[in-house]
Structure 1
Amino acid sequence: MFSLMKAAVGGLTGVCRVNGYKQGPLLCHLKVLVAGLQTYEIPPDYSDVVLPAKPKLKFMNKVPNLKRPRREPKKLRDIQGPTKGADSFTTGQYGIVALGGGYLHWGHIEMIRLTINRKMDARTMFAQWCINGPYKPITRKSLGQRMGGGKGAINHYVTPVRYGRLIVEVGGKVELGEVQHILTEVAKKLPFPAQVVSRESLEAMKKKQADMEQNNQNPWTFKQIVRGNMLGVRRVVSPFDVHHSGRFSGKFHFPGRV
């Protein structure tokens, strides 16, 4: 049977010529797979990465070590506007940046610590905090108490966070794809919008904002309108909006406004 098929195909040779070789009409539609060299990307160099002695996140106290804690007013300006520090990486390559303001309770901090410490590989990774422990007191009166009688007792402590502040850094001999799922899981559970960034993406965000302000084609910007007091707009605009040129509304940030 095989010899008959071979003779049938061989009898049809000479009908089609490809690159000087005689082939039959059936063989003209067959593709010849040739093994070739496959190129791979050069792996990153981690020769300059030094892992610390304690690579995991340290435990933070629920209550600050104060001899006499002082009750404070609400003072919502702690979470308004851009951050005044911790907006760039120190030793890590990846992290979580806050895209809005808010308060971190001790439960949020413990969630971050447990999630990262359980899922990270301490042999090739390390993590470190970019925030302080809870230090701002939050007061609350007991249930059923009448109005008045002074300020309530301290109920718990929180950590204020502003826009652009790094929450935690992760580094080591790893790439972004190895830690992105861990940091994304943490960022979804925070009480404010947050995003997973690397050194390159964080610099790209800052550069994009600077380019928008420099290459803006609209001559009537919020800053010029407010400073010029056009149509008496200063009567309804707060000093906070004047200082930040309308890029923030309380704890919220408007990325498209320049």
Structure 2
Amino acid sequence: MNAGLSLRLGWRLHTASPSVLSSVIVKQGLHTSEVAGWRASVGPDPWRRHRQRYPVPELPARPENVVIPEKHRLPILPKVPSIYGQTMTRPPKGTRELYRMQGEERVHNKLILEQFGIVALAGGRLTSSHFEFLRNKVNRWLHPERSLAIFRVDAPYQPVTNHGAGRRMGGGKGSISHYVTPVKAGRVIVEVAGDMYWPEVQPWLSKVAEKMPFEAMAVNQDLLERLEAEEKRIAETNENPYTFEWLVRNNIMDCQSHLSPKDRVWFGRFLYRDRTLNRKYQTIHNFRYRMR
């Protein structure tokens, strides 16, 4: 048994690090008794003291009873709202409606599948090219039999107008150039689930989140709960009573006459381009908490 196991593991792995050895054990699907017998045959473990000081973390339990639907990949979303593409109705033009990006998302801020996803940390807009990028990258890494992905945002529906290059000023509002989807801070954009571990999903999901037109991060259910709990703990244990919210609510030095109605709701957060004011979990980021 030990000879066959040595051929499967390789005779050089008895000097390998614990992380390399654990990864090989997981990939080969070896039993604990087999590994113990193989270690006894190769002699004393040179990494025993290192393993006692830096123990290898145990892998989380795999999800059970995961039902993968037939259409488990991200679909192609239309670039133009379907109500205008199938009828003779002239698509209406609209204003910028910046309020759709300002503030914090209070509805779609949880993971429905309770596994992995991408969460926006600041407000912004998603165009059809961003949806196509998400579809190509996420579908490329999905396993055909044990993983699925869904969009948590709507297809582009808000019109954006502009004037052509080199055109003179005036002449009324420009024609519709493209459509976008406004996103608030804290909105879940994409969810990924299935029979997978977080270390398998986190590397490529983080790279996809970095390419978003706004700040975003890859999260799992445990990380999202810890971030929310830490943000709540920081607010409850704050020793400085003179916060921005306290000043606005008590109208110190008649500050409400200089503030917008949105400042009275969000108290200076998620409204401006400044990263220190427009980024979710900024308090945790300032204190350099390591939420890994």
TM-score, structure 2 normalization:
0.71
1:222 matches 2:209: no
Residue 95 of structure 2 corresponds to which residue in structure 1?
Answer: 73
1:155 shift after superposition: 0.6
Residue 5 of structure 1 corresponds to which residue in structure 2?
Answer: none
Residue 33 of structure 1 corresponds to which residue in structure 2?
Answer: 44
Point out where structure 2 has 5 or more consecutive residues left out of the alignment: 1-42, 49-54, 285-292
**Cα distance in structure 1, aligned partners of 2:231 and 2:57:** 35
TM-score, structure 1 normalization:
0.80
Residue 58 of structure 1 corresponds to which residue in structure 2?
Answer: 75
1:253 matches 2:264: no
**How many equivalent residue pairs?**
225
The residue type paired with residue 176 of structure 2 is: I
1:117 matches 2:139: yes
The residue type paired with residue 259 of structure 2 is: V
Q: Which deviations, in whole Å up to 9, do the C-alpha atoms of 1:147-181 show, x marking residues without a partner? A: 22221111100010100001100010001111112
Residue 26 of structure 1 corresponds to which residue in structure 2?
Answer: none
Q: Which deviations, in whole Å up to 9, do the C-alpha atoms of 1:97-138 show, x marking residues without a partner? A: 000000001001100000111122121211111011000000
**Cα distance in structure 2, aligned partners of 1:45 and 1:243:** 42
The residue type paired with residue 66 of structure 1 is: I
1:249 shift after superposition: 3.0
Does the aligned pair in 2 maintain the 1:99–1:194 contact within 8 Å?
yes
Cα distance 1:50–1:138, how it changes in 2: closer, same or farther (>3 A)?
same
Does the aligned pair in 2 maintain the 1:92–1:170 contact within 8 Å?
no
**Cα distance in structure 2, aligned partners of 1:146 and 1:98:** 37
SS in structure 1 at match of 2:193: strand
Cα distance 1:151–1:208, how it changes in 2: closer, same or farther (>3 A)?
same
1:49 shift after superposition: 1.6
SS in structure 1 at match of 2:192: strand
More helix by share: 2
1:190 shift after superposition: 0.4
**Cα distance in structure 1, aligned partners of 2:135 and 2:77:** 9
Q: Which has the larger radius of gyration?
A: 1
The residue type paired with residue 155 of structure 2 is: G
Cα distance 1:43–1:214, how it changes in 2: closer, same or farther (>3 A)?
closer
1:71 shift after superposition: 0.5
Residue 158 of structure 1 corresponds to which residue in structure 2?
Answer: 180
Does the aligned pair in 2 maintain the 1:127–1:170 contact within 8 Å?
yes
142, 150, 154: which one aligns with 1:132: 154
Range 169-178 or range 64-73, more displaced: 64-73
Cα distance 1:60–1:42, how it changes in 2: closer, same or farther (>3 A)?
closer
The residue type paired with residue 261 of structure 2 is: P
More strand by share: 1
1:188 shift after superposition: 1.0
**Cα distance in structure 2, aligned partners of 1:52 and 1:113:** 17
Q: Which deviations, in whole Å up to 9, do the C-alpha atoms of 1:54-104 show, x marking residues without a partner? A: 111111011111233210011111110101321101125100000000000
1:40 shift after superposition: 8.4
**Cα distance in structure 1, aligned partners of 2:45 and 2:221:** 42
**Cα distance in structure 2, aligned partners of 1:39 and 1:106:** 43
**Cα distance in structure 2, aligned partners of 1:109 and 1:121:** 20
1:256 shift after superposition: 2.3
**Cα distance in structure 1, aligned partners of 2:176 and 2:59:** 56
**Cα distance in structure 2, aligned partners of 1:45 and 1:248:** 37
Does the aligned pair in 1 maintain the 2:60–2:197 contact within 8 Å?
no
Matches of residues 165-244 of structure 1 in structure 2 within 5 Å?
165-244=187-266
1:43 shift after superposition: 5.5
**Cα distance in structure 1, aligned partners of 2:45 and 2:194:** 40
